[in-house]
Structure 1
Amino acid sequence: MTTDFNFELLGTDGTARRGRVHTAHGAINTPAFMPVGTAATVKAMMPESVAETGAEILLGNTYHLMLRPGAERIEKLGGLHKFMNWDKPILTDSGGFQVMSLAQLRKITEEGVRFRSHIDGAYYDLTPESSTEIQRQLDADITMCFDECPALPASKERVNEAMQLSMRWAKRSRDAFVERQGYGQFGIVQGGTEEDLRKESVEKLVDIGFEGYAIGGLAVGEGQELMFQTLDYTTPVMPVDKPRYLMGVGKPDDLVGAVARGVDMFDCVLPSRSGRTAEAWTRRGSVNLRNARHKDDPRPLDEHCTCPCCKSYSRAYLYHLTKTKEILGLMLLTWHNLHYYQELMAGMRTAIEEGTFEKFVVDFHALREQGDIERV
């Protein structure tokens, strides 16, 4: 039986929130991290393996999937869940960010964006209406409205122009959204690092009405301190009874700091991309497996980690795989990183439930300051 799309706020500890999002394809416990499956795959991972890390939702990419293999083809094949063998929730971004960052040529108008594919140079038009329809064809549990995300730093005039256009596009995205039981659409708060513009954006989106609200336009060059300052005045004016999603973030300390400021959902390519470049994330910071100090080390990456990489393989073996460019190295490090991220989110959920989140944050930073374990 399909459930209604809704958000339960199960508890708080300070401004940190513990919740649960209910969708057509299952529940998502928050705070939650979404691995990025850009082209209907989390690189170097099988969907079953991603699920084993604890992930309850994946992110798919409208821009990439509309170019290859095409939304119509995926719809005919039963939707993105069936196509990629993932039976849990999926969120799709609108494609706007990729158009701005990847397309060879693009022209932004009131109607939408005309761009040339970075693959073959063919021209495409993407509008609030077509983006929303493509996401319906993909069968995304959570659809994102189409927006413009300017790179920072930018003048306040430029940021305001992009925010106002995004709000007009948000209304058109909402009008194009086909309501179905268990499916929702998120509006995207824009406004750069300008407090008044962020608040105005929230007000306009709430007037339109969405099932959730995302914070866009951050992690685009402004730095962590400014990002946190922006969250400090943005999340307090966002609806309490709706999920809050910080797009494209981030490093482990970004996640902890954002959860402390009331964010519920995250996505980032970092754990999987790092795994493919020999960087492992652990509770004591990042580890570079290209470093020769690992070549004779029989210990695991993290003796407290329960992922397959740490349970069965040594740093020496991971160094060997990295140096010989064996695919298994990418797979194991990606699995470990995704496992660590899910373990981090689960730890924050438990700490919020138990009212010990402040201690969790102190312990998290203390371990990272110690640095990687020394050779014995």
Structure 2
Amino acid sequence: MKFELQYTDAQSKARVGEITTDHGKIQTPIFMPVGTQGTVKAVHQRELKEDVKAEIILGNTYHLYLRPGLETIEQAGGLHKFNGWDKPILTDSGGYQVFSLSNNRKIKEEGVVFKSHIDGSKHVFTPENIMDIQRTIGADIIMAFDECTPYPCDHQYAKTSMERTHRWLKRCVDRFDSTEDKYGYSQTLFPIVQGSTFKDLRIQSAETIASFEREGNAIGGLSVGEPAEDMYEMTDLVTDILPKDKPRYLMGVGTPANILEGIGLGIDMFDCVMPTRQARHGQLFTTQGIINIKNQKWERDFSPIDEELGGYVSTFYSKAYLRHLMRAQELLAAQIASVHNLTFYLWLVKEARKHIIEGDFREWKDIMVKKLMQRL
């Protein structure tokens, strides 16, 4: 994997770059639709390419390991062949999912013992087998196995967890570097900065992660319930330390406003389930603000969902029709809303990219943040 830094904003830390992988190029800043179980919910791969214009999607190690299982994915020739997505894929290590099973897992130095949420069967994740599992899944970018601390937590808990994450990272790197790419294309490992909302821990973790000199770096353990101001403060702190010539990935973030503020703080890559999850509940993100399409005010609004956004779904279907589908609980409602929201998120990062290049990103960002938080 290669990263080329192309532009930097004079008034903020916003940047424009290009990541090159064996499955294609990624223009940054970028939003990555989440396909937890090998699929972005309610969205065809063709729609992801042609309408959403996604350049990279995510899969999740925990879920894919449990179902359909590694044997099926390996026989298919990796996740790209299995789900038909021929552009880049990133896989989360599954650490967040495992640690969220607070009543069904036990953390040890060796790794984590947990019970499947599907059938209660017992499994073990270690830094070593997580590397092997992600090799088999076949993502272009794979994540280190880390411990994601809850919010809030005390300093000692966060410190102990962070130090374990660093020890696990060394084991991840050793295993990754001693194994081969599985399907004839290269794979890249990203470490993850932890440390909760404690400045001293975030600084220590960022310095440790940077010392491994991998091709990219991630920031984890944020957007887990802390105030947005804390998330921005920790992000700002960490991006001052992480290498400028490597892509920076802020995991699990977030709202459109979070993404724009993150770009301004020097983040290149984002992912979040929010656009598709909120879509299924009738919340639409538009160029004018946020719409709850279930509200009665849209009952006879026959204007397009978002004419300014463009794209087939957003300009072909009316607000009134989508409201009707939502209230009737038709499956098509989730499809339309999901494609629309993802189209909006990809439009947003592409607009940010354009304004960074044009030199007016900060002014545009400040206007857009206020605009996009309005409820229509």
Tell me which residue corresponds to 1:316: 320
Tell me which residue corresponds to 1:279: 283
Tell me which residue corresponds to 1:8: 4
Tell me which residue corresponds to 2:78: 79
Distance 1:253 1:241, change over 3 A: same
Which amino acid is the alignment partner of residue 161 of structure 1?
Answer: T
CA-to-aligned-CA distance 1:44-98 (integer Å, 9 cap, x gap):
0001111121110000000000000112320111100010000000000001000
Give the unaligned 5+ runs of structure 1: none
Distance in 1 separating the partners of 2:88 and 2:55? 7
CA-to-aligned-CA distance 1:216-238 (integer Å, 9 cap, x gap):
00000102111011112111011
Q: Is the 8 A contact 1:192 1:198 kept in 2?
A: yes
Q: Is the 8 A contact 2:192 2:218 kept in 1?
A: yes
Q: Is the 8 A contact 2:194 2:205 kept in 1?
A: yes
Identify the range of structure 1 (361-370 vs 265-274) with the bigger mean alpha-carbon deviation: 361-370
Distance in 1 separating the partners of 2:326 and 2:167? 48
CA-to-aligned-CA distance 1:331-355 (integer Å, 9 cap, x gap):
0000000000000010011111111
Distance in 2 separating the partners of 1:183 and 1:158? 33
Q: Is the 8 A contact 2:5 2:18 kept in 1?
A: yes
CA-to-aligned-CA distance 1:158-196 (integer Å, 9 cap, x gap):
001110000000111111113646321100000011111
Which amino acid is the alignment partner of residue 51 of structure 1?
Answer: K
Which amino acid is the alignment partner of residue 20 of structure 1?
Answer: E
Q: Is the 8 A contact 1:93 1:144 kept in 2?
A: yes
TM-score (norm 2): 0.95
Q: Is the 8 A contact 1:114 1:125 kept in 2?
A: yes
Distance in 2 separating the partners of 1:26 and 1:358? 30
Distance in 1 separating the partners of 2:298 and 2:54? 29
CA-to-aligned-CA distance 1:298-349 (integer Å, 9 cap, x gap):
1122221212222111111011001100011110000000000000010011
1:23 matched to 2:33? The reply is no
Distance in 2 separating the partners of 1:336 and 1:247? 22
Q: How does 1:59-208 map to 2 (within 5 A)?
A: 59-102=58-101, 104-177=103-176, 178=179, 180=181, 182-208=186-212
CA-to-aligned-CA distance 1:89-130 (integer Å, 9 cap, x gap):
000000100001147510100000000000000000001011
Tell me which residue corresponds to 2:56: 57
Distance in 2 separating the partners of 1:15 and 1:331? 36
Tell me which residue corresponds to 2:355: 351
Residue among 306, 314, 336 paired with 2:340: 336
Q: Is the 8 A contact 1:198 1:234 kept in 2?
A: yes
The Cα shift of 1:365 comes to 2.9
The Cα shift of 1:138 comes to 0.7
The Cα shift of 1:371 comes to 4.7
Distance in 2 separating the partners of 1:256 and 1:68? 35
The Cα shift of 1:258 comes to 0.4
Tell me which residue corresponds to 1:34: 32
Distance in 2 separating the partners of 1:369 and 1:320? 25
> RMSD across aligned C-alpha pairs, in angstroms?
1.3
Tell me which residue corresponds to 2:310: 306
| Percent of paired sites with the same residue | 47
Which amino acid is the alignment partner of residue 134 of structure 1?
Answer: I
Distance 1:130 1:370, change over 3 A: closer
Identify the range of structure 1 (96-105 vs 285-294) with the bigger mean alpha-carbon deviation: 96-105
SS of 2:209's partner is: helix
Distance in 1 separating the partners of 2:373 and 2:210? 41
Tell me which residue corresponds to 2:272: 268
Which amino acid is the alignment partner of residue 263 of structure 1?
Answer: I
Distance in 2 separating the partners of 1:274 and 1:369? 15
SS of 2:225's partner is: coil
Which amino acid is the alignment partner of residue 166 of structure 1?
Answer: T
Distance in 1 separating the partners of 2:314 and 2:224? 33
Distance in 2 separating the partners of 1:145 and 1:366? 36
Distance in 2 separating the partners of 1:60 and 1:231? 24
Which amino acid is the alignment partner of residue 3 of structure 2?
Answer: F
Which amino acid is the alignment partner of residue 7 of structure 1?
Answer: F
Distance in 2 separating the partners of 1:231 and 1:370? 25
Distance in 1 separating the partners of 2:57 and 2:70? 17
The Cα shift of 1:155 comes to 0.2
Matched residues, number: 368
Which amino acid is the alignment partner of residue 6 of structure 1?
Answer: K
The Cα shift of 1:205 comes to 1.7
TM-score (norm 1): 0.95
Which amino acid is the alignment partner of residue 46 of structure 1?
Answer: H
Distance 1:367 1:114, change over 3 A: same
